[in-house]
Chain A
Amino acid sequence: MFRSIKIKLATSASLMVVLIITSYSLVTVVHRRSQLRQEISEGVVSFARLTVAPICQGYYIYYSSGYFKFRGIVAGLLRMNSNVSEIQIIDVSGNVLFDSRIRDYEQPGSLPSPDQYESGLLERVRRLDLSQQPVKSPSGDWAISVVMPYIEEWGRHRLSVRYVANYAALGGLVRSSIIQVLITGLVFVVLGSLIAYFIARTITDPIHQLSMAASDIGAGQLDRSVSVKSNDEIGGLADSFNSMARQLKSNLEALSESYDRLTRANAELMELDRLKSNFMANVSHELKTPLTAISGYADYLAMEKLGPLTETQRKGLEVMRRNIRRLTRQIKDLLEFISMEEGQFSITPGMFDIQQVFEEVVSNYRTELESKKLAASIVCPPGLELWGDRERIFQVVDNLFMNAIKFTSHGSIIVTAEIEAPGRARIEVADSGVGIPPEAVARIFQRFHQLDGSSTRKYGGVGLGLAIVKSILDAHRTTIEVESTPGRGSRFMFRLPTGPEEGRKT
């Protein structure tokens, strides 16, 4: 495939040589032909000037007898110029009196009229007469005729002689010159192709080297370079190629170095990540295990399984249990929040009964509600099923409900679920507590946030509850809304689909 440029160059060079030689030889042949024709007609004219007088005088002398003698004289004259093939004697009205081609006359004195042996040639000769234009002779050769008048004494003119010369010799001469031109042409073509081939080689060999080197580099041999020493464009290409190969090699080395670095860093990060999740699991274990033992025994004591309790003992135990619950709650929120921050958080949606969730939440806080003398009511169409992660939604309602209790000192808390539009339900937790100032509404869902620094001490909690709520609802692709009047109470709302289809639509 790398030979093709050579072949193309050689072919086009030979074609050009052939074209030049062909046109040159055409011009040469045409020129030579007209030159030869000129020579022949000039020769015929001077021959005519020399011979017109002896022919006409001879004709007068042998007119009545001795025709064959006259013919012999004419034949002798014809032999003197090989180009002249025929001699005619014509009178002033154009009648042919004698023709050297006609051998036998019975009576030379009664020459036949031209019509009797008229040929195409003679007719045309008469018309063209002095033009010396070439005509086609009956034998098929090109010919010219020269008519020379015979001027006698006293300027009398009775006869003219027509000399017909054909170009038969011309053909041979032209043919030989064509052959000469062809041979020279062939030599030139061969030489030209060879020269073109060698010139092409000086171009294609470096290109071939470059392409081999490029495919080697492509196969990964980055140390490869090209040794083309020339100061033309190909030399320049080879230089750029070498510097490109060096650049490629250094880039690749840098790349593989940074790849190694990244791989190591990634491995370290993965190890760190594994250690961290191990650590989280251990922290979780270490916090929850003692809590399990404490709360279990406290519960068991409160059930009076281990004997009846006095009123003071019971009160003390209640304080313990309340604070155990609070601690449990904080640890749970904290761990939950950390795992959400880590992104280890997913929801597994399904159909669930929202009323059951409400009832479970409210019953969990029965002690708190009683101790703060708050009323709690559930407004919900029986058997209403919603689409979502039950455990997570439970957490949301639980958090909202716990907040409502925390910030309400008297009045009631109402938990509502209702179909708001086909396929969509609205869930609401409303309280009659301290409310939230409008400027603070946007901030309450930020982590670690409570209304002011002192509220932490007054209401307890570390401010993670609403951040968790927001994360869970984000994962459900729904949002939480707040309406609040400071001093009058707050309403927290969110929406859930009533089935998987509706959930996908929103």
Chain B
Amino acid sequence: MKEKPTGRHLIMVIDDEQDVASLVKMILEGEGHQVITALSGHEALQMLYQVKPDLILLDIMMPGLDGMEFIKIVKIIDSTAQIPIAMMTARTAPEDRAAALREKAVEYICKPFTAAELAEKVNKILAQDNK
């Protein structure tokens, strides 16, 4: 769309809603990124043994391992602690936002988001990360 970030980035999208996961995958692939999706926290943890994404987009409300538990686990494992994580959630209460930022989430994207908003925020994080 606008200027593309340097190089292709690998982005992991974790959302139990297949439709949302596909939408995000589509938007970000449109931005020129490589996207892998996981439909649960457990599946995502399995995948993290094989791949090391540049960014994780994480839903909070998921059955099984939820987003807040997932981020805690990722942040205490050495090999994954450095991966930036952006929350992507329907919970808009300031307490939820504060809790996520305490867990070192880099961004808090509220659903419903527009395609342009999502692309802009993701590109901003990746640009900062490249510096």
Contact = CB atoms under 8 A, between A and B. Distances in A.
Contact of A288 (B93, B95, B112): B112
Contact of A292 (B23, B61, B91): B23
A430 B14 CA distance: 45
Interface of A: 281-282, 284-285, 287-293, 295-297, 299-300, 303, 305, 328, 332, 335, 339, 344, 346, 348
A348 B115 CA distance: 28
Given A295-B112, A296-B118, 16 more contacts: A287-B90, A289-B17, A289-B19, A289-B90, A291-B111, A291-B112, A292-B23, A293-B20, A293-B23, A295-B113, A296-B27, A296-B115, A297-B23, A300-B115, A303-B115, A303-B116
B83 interface: no
Contacts of A291: 111-112
A346 B94 contact: yes
B26 A300 contact: yes
Contacts of B116: 299, 303
Nearest to A303: B115
What are the 10 closest A-B residue pairs judged by CB atoms, nearest first? A288-B90, A299-B115, A293-B19, A292-B112, A296-B23, A292-B111, A291-B112, A285-B90, A288-B111, A285-B61
A291 B19 CA distance: 11
Contacts of B23: 292-293, 296-297, 300
22 contacts: A281-B61, A282-B61, A287-B90, A289-B20, A289-B111, A291-B111, A292-B90, A293-B19, A293-B23, A296-B20, A296-B113, A296-B115, A297-B23, A299-B114, A300-B23, A300-B26, A300-B27, A300-B30, A303-B1, A328-B112, A339-B93, A344-B95
B92 interface: yes
Nearest to B98: A348
A404 to B, nearest CB: 23
A160 B28 CA distance: 162
A497 B113 CA distance: 32
Contacts of B95: 344
A297 to B, nearest CB: 6
Nearest to A300: B115
Given A291-B112, A293-B20, A299-B114, A285 B91 contact: yes
Nearest to A335: B92
B17 A284 contact: no
Given A281-B91, A284-B91, A285-B90, A305 B30 contact: yes
Interface string B64-108: 000000000000000000000000001111110000000000000
B110 to A, nearest CB: 8
B114 A295 contact: yes
Interface string B6-39: 0000000000010110011011001000000000
A288 B96 CA distance: 16
Nearest to A296: B23
Contacts, number: 64
A258 to B, nearest CB: 34
Q: Is the interface of A mostly helix, strand, loop or mixed?
A: helix
Contacts of A346: 94
Interface of B: 1, 17, 19-20, 23-24, 26-27, 30, 61, 90-95, 111-116, 118
A164 B113 CA distance: 142
* Max chain A C-beta neighbours (<10 A), residue from B17, B26, B90, B115: B90
Contacts of A290: 19
Nearest to A389: B94
A284 B19 CA distance: 17
Contacts of B20: 289, 292-293, 296
A175 B94 CA distance: 106
Contacts of B94: 346, 348
A364 to B, nearest CB: 10
Nearest to A331: B112
B11 to A, nearest CB: 15
A305 B115 CA distance: 11
B104 to A, nearest CB: 19
Nearest to B96: A281
Contacts of A296: 20, 23-24, 27, 112-115, 118
B1 to A, nearest CB: 7
Contacts of B115: 296, 299-300, 303
A293 to B, nearest CB: 4
B38 to A, nearest CB: 17
A287 B92 CA distance: 13
Given A285-B61, A296-B23, A300-B27, A344 B114 contact: no
Contacts of A282: 61
Contacts of B92: 284, 332, 335
Given A285-B61, A300-B26, A303-B1, A292 B93 contact: no
A288 B113 CA distance: 10
Contacts of A332: 92
Nearest to A297: B23
Nearest to A283: B90
A252 to B, nearest CB: 41
